Chains A and B, each alone.
Chain A
């Protein structure tokens, strides 16, 4: 058991090295994680589906590859938890929705394919807010996931299952998607690293769309270097995604390996602090800014005046796109069908199925988006929101003329209790206050743990934002923060969470 425990606490980079060196087989590594999932997931509920067989088969093929002396990629044999929003031919894809329960896609997402090609072992599909709409996974039709720091708290969302899996050592790597903060916010509240790459940097083909112009896949990991390795593995141009960037992947791994902020100009966003921010969040954030200064960064305050309109603009743009993207779930070709009694019309069956198959938040956003796009309202809502988007991009452009990166807290508060905001959409929406601007502008952003809030001992995330295709800067800053804090602690950040929430009780008993 101790061996198995060691296997799950290594970083992904260490695991890959061990596999490559023959110190551990990919199958052993995969088994250890499957065991860990079996042990802990009754409490965490990070996974909607665990694909033990396909995972072991993938691991075996990595081991065979190694045995045959063929080259292995930098993440070969490393297990990963995949958000259930990507299509997979060997596992169902549900997007956390009843309307897609049991849907078995006939094709792999480009990202799925790239992971497989890299020898990454996909353990299973993780829980999420239904169709990625939410900040807590409470909108999952299959029940919420739990925060490994405290099982009564939300793990954030919408990629909460992916974040919880990584924080609970069920997988060293996970993929999430970020539309309004859905990677960075759960990363922050689960005390792990979450990256939203530049929009278009990683393919959306096979990612079930929530808001097409915003959705961005990215890594959730325990260390900055692991994030960079995964970032690189999933990035690059995809001809099947028209919005995919045909540009070289920024040198993220090199940046993560040599984090250095000396001389770097860091801008603190004036608008992303103050009222509504938990004191502990601001304390840790300010300490981290000071830390960067001691590391040689030049810190200034920068104003981005239109960021205060980012949240309302986002809650017009994202619902508008989602109202159209989710129209296809109509009970005709796949998924749930309700009320087909031979008498009901197609229209009635569609309406009944959608009313039954979608949860409350999805329905709210569909109706909100339908409203914003309606003739007569388009200009006042959707059109105006798109203009705000331009202004936010201009704010970023102006800021990046003065500084190399912008920083802010990732979320205004630490993890909140399950149920607290479940039927209070406006309160829930505030969780994405700081993350939304980068989604609207399409640039790159990361959340890296920066300590525990003194008032409740829960993790706080530090957000770094960089210009489009300057993703490597995220890793320079986050890597430097991580290294300095680890050095100060003498341990990795997440090691503090190990043993919390009684996840290891059974394991302890077994020793």
Chain B
């Protein structure tokens, strides 16, 4: 057994060359060569017909939309589109292939010679695209036996629903010069390709459902030799993380082989998610001879230049350009954008913003609470049972003061649990914030009365002590109050008490100092700006009156002085303190 070489050592001594072959199931309504529906997760063999079952006498007819989608992909990858090309038969026997040949393209692919730019760690790489061609997918075998794996199975059960689904194969040219970044480049390429395909609306590109599948070619040669080594082809690489791990583990393994003076064998290898390692696949003793020849049941495909031009003109904004635009529109940092791409949340945030949410709020929800939920359940963000519209609705409820952050989390939990829309969850769970001022005022008064020591501290200028009273009020209202509002009420009540007790003749300015501190605190954290005298000189007559008037409005039992200026209300308040923090903090 060959010892693998630690990655850093391996890439210090060897230069990797990678290449990727990506298969993408197109999101057409029907299969490549027949009208059977393209389905996922349907009853076995319920979406088949004589053509995709390969029954004797059946004949294929090309799905025009599949050709169009492939040309779309080719154009987005900067490829040349063939003026004339043919399908070919690839002959080999396998039970999940109903005709024992696959209709594919051989030496005449539909699209050739393109490229895709990607970025890793701020470094740009141009990945050459050798070809993009169209073929049909195979059925699915389920191996039945003690191990559940192909080896040791007693028999297999075959479902042909997938057979005949249009499959686009995108083949890169070999990519040299990536050095230690090879695994990251491979991953970034697949990620960028996936975003591209999604933006083109040609596939749902779900790696976990197999609608995007990767074969990764890896070779290494001694650094500086200028040579390329023998490559291996690793199959079964079906997640972004696996793409990265597969390249990494092949580099480590091949370095081990070369270090021992061995030769890397050109072979197919299989990637195992559990171990992150590859193992040798089909033995090459019987070299495959696919006996390609032009498919005689089909006629050539010769897309007119007018059609290609029409398709080109209708291409949507591509992901790279879109990311630049969105970042500018949202005012997010590079780091934010990277984080969003990493969890595949760019589209979700865009949709949430489109549904009316503030970009930073949208980003926060998807990056924190919802990402955590996705992690916990092992799901993709997009697969969570919550829509961007739901998230935007929750954000709107918080902004309107109808939910606090804690309640918002509970609403989201309810939506995720399938209890309905945010509004329905709020109603069903009774989660609305207590906004009835009289109820809150009573609770505040109770809390102050029950905690005279804390009230005294506040009166003495220790405004921070209000937190303890907030806790008491929240407890009394079972959490269904907006903590910020509660704090505001407490401070206002304390201020009112102070103002009521104060008289200009009283001599000491201590209460006034405390008042100013309280009101400045209120101004800072809440939605209002409390106008208060700027200097001691202003105090004597007018100021007490102003303070008194304000509190009179809120607290009717307070005396009403004359000629007072109303405090200014700034509705967009609270910004300085909250920026950059999660709504959940």
Interchain CA distance A87-B58 in the complex, whole Å = 9
Q: What A residues does B506 contact at CB under 8 A?
A: none
- Any chain A CB within 8 A of the CB of B125? no
Q: What B residues does A370 contact at CB under 8 A?
A: 291
Binary A-proximity of B484-522 (CB < 8 A = 1, otherwise 0): 000000000000000000000000000000000000000
Q: Which of B93-101, B232-240, B342-350 contacts A (4 or more CB under 8 A)?
A: B93-101
Q: What B residues does A205 contact at CB under 8 A?
A: 57-59
Interchain CA distance A105-B53 in the complex, whole Å = 12
Binary A-proximity of B22-65 (CB < 8 A = 1, otherwise 0): 00000000000000000000000000001001111111111000
Q: What B residues does A107 contact at CB under 8 A?
A: 50, 55, 57-58
Binary B-proximity of A242-260 (CB < 8 A = 1, otherwise 0): 1100000000000000000
Q: What B residues does A204 contact at CB under 8 A?
A: 59
B100 touches A330 (CB 8 A): yes
A328 touches B99 (CB 8 A): yes
Interchain CA distance A388-B417 in the complex, whole Å = 70
A105 contacts which of B56, B99, B156 (Cβ < 8 Å)? B56
B297 touches A242 (CB 8 A): yes
Identify which of residues 364-406 in chain B touch chain A, using a CB-to-CB cut-off of 8 Å.
none
Interchain CA distance A334-B160 in the complex, whole Å = 14
- Any chain B CB within 8 A of the CB of A342? yes
Interchain CA distance A347-B100 in the complex, whole Å = 12
Interchain CA distance A375-B91 in the complex, whole Å = 12
A324 touches B289 (CB 8 A): no
Q: What A residues does B57 contact at CB under 8 A?
A: 86-87, 93, 105, 107, 109, 205-209
- Any chain A CB within 8 A of the CB of B89? yes
Binary B-proximity of A367-382 (CB < 8 A = 1, otherwise 0): 0001001110010001
Binary B-proximity of A77-102 (CB < 8 A = 1, otherwise 0): 00000000011000001010000100
Interchain CA distance A323-B290 in the complex, whole Å = 12
B55 contacts which of A332, A334, A378 (Cβ < 8 Å)? A334
Identify which of residues 312-369 in chain A touch chain B, using a CB-to-CB cut-off of 8 Å.
320-321, 323-324, 327-330, 332-334, 342, 346-347, 350
- Any chain A CB within 8 A of the CB of B293? yes
Residue of B nearest to A208 (CB): B56
Check A342/B296 contact, CB under 8 A, given A107-B50, A327-B93: no
Q: What B residues does A382 contact at CB under 8 A?
A: 293
Shortest beta-carbon distance, B75 to chain A, in Å? 25
**Interface size, chain B (Cβ < 8 Å):** 31
A242 touches B298 (CB 8 A): yes
A321 touches B296 (CB 8 A): yes
Identify which of residues 365-418 in chain A touch chain B, using a CB-to-CB cut-off of 8 Å.
370, 373-375, 378, 382
Identify which of residues 252-301 in chain A touch chain B, using a CB-to-CB cut-off of 8 Å.
none
Binary A-proximity of B292-322 (CB < 8 A = 1, otherwise 0): 1100111100000000000000000000000
- Any chain A CB within 8 A of the CB of B158? yes
Residue of B nearest to A317 (CB): B296
A242 touches B59 (CB 8 A): yes
A347 touches B289 (CB 8 A): no
Q: What A residues does B99 contact at CB under 8 A?
A: 327-328
- Any chain A CB within 8 A of the CB of B154? yes
B56 touches A330 (CB 8 A): no
Interchain CA distance A243-B300 in the complex, whole Å = 10
Binary A-proximity of B87-109 (CB < 8 A = 1, otherwise 0): 00101010100111100000000
A347 touches B291 (CB 8 A): no
Shortest beta-carbon distance, B144 to chain A, in Å? 12
Q: What A residues does B55 contact at CB under 8 A?
A: 87, 105-107, 333-334
B56 touches A95 (CB 8 A): yes
Check A350/B93 contact, CB under 8 A, given A86-B57, A204-B59: yes
Q: Which of A204, A239, A329, A333 has the most CB of B within 10 A?
A: A333
Q: What A residues does B296 contact at CB under 8 A?
A: 211-213, 243, 321
A375 touches B291 (CB 8 A): yes
Binary A-proximity of B403-433 (CB < 8 A = 1, otherwise 0): 0000000000000000000000000000000
A373 contacts which of B59, B91, B98, B158 (Cβ < 8 Å)? B91
- Any chain B CB within 8 A of the CB of A496? no
- Any chain B CB within 8 A of the CB of A308? no
Q: What B residues does A87 contact at CB under 8 A?
A: 55-57
Residue of B nearest to A370 (CB): B291
- Any chain B CB within 8 A of the CB of A38? no
Shortest beta-carbon distance, A329 to chain B, in Å? 8
Interchain CA distance A378-B100 in the complex, whole Å = 20
A327 touches B56 (CB 8 A): no
Q: What B residues does A342 contact at CB under 8 A?
A: 154-155
- Any chain B CB within 8 A of the CB of A423? no
B299 contacts which of A206, A243, A328, A378 (Cβ < 8 Å)? A243
Residue of A nearest to B291 (CB): A373
Shortest beta-carbon distance, A88 to chain B, in Å? 10
B61 touches A240 (CB 8 A): yes
Q: What A residues does B93 contact at CB under 8 A?
A: 327, 330, 347, 350
A324 touches B59 (CB 8 A): no
Shortest beta-carbon distance, A280 to chain B, in Å? 38
A328 touches B100 (CB 8 A): yes
Q: Which of B58, B89, B298 has the most CB of A within 10 A?
A: B58
Interchain CA distance A334-B98 in the complex, whole Å = 11
Interchain CA distance A330-B100 in the complex, whole Å = 8
Residues of B within 8 A of A (CB): 50, 53-62, 89, 91, 93, 95, 98-101, 154-156, 158, 289, 291-293, 296-299
Would you list 8 pairs from A and B whose C-beta atoms are within 8 A, ordered by A residue? A86-B57, A107-B55, A207-B57, A321-B293, A321-B296, A324-B91, A327-B99, A327-B100
Give the 5 A-B CB pairs with smallest separation, nearest first.
A327-B100, A212-B296, A373-B291, A213-B296, A208-B56
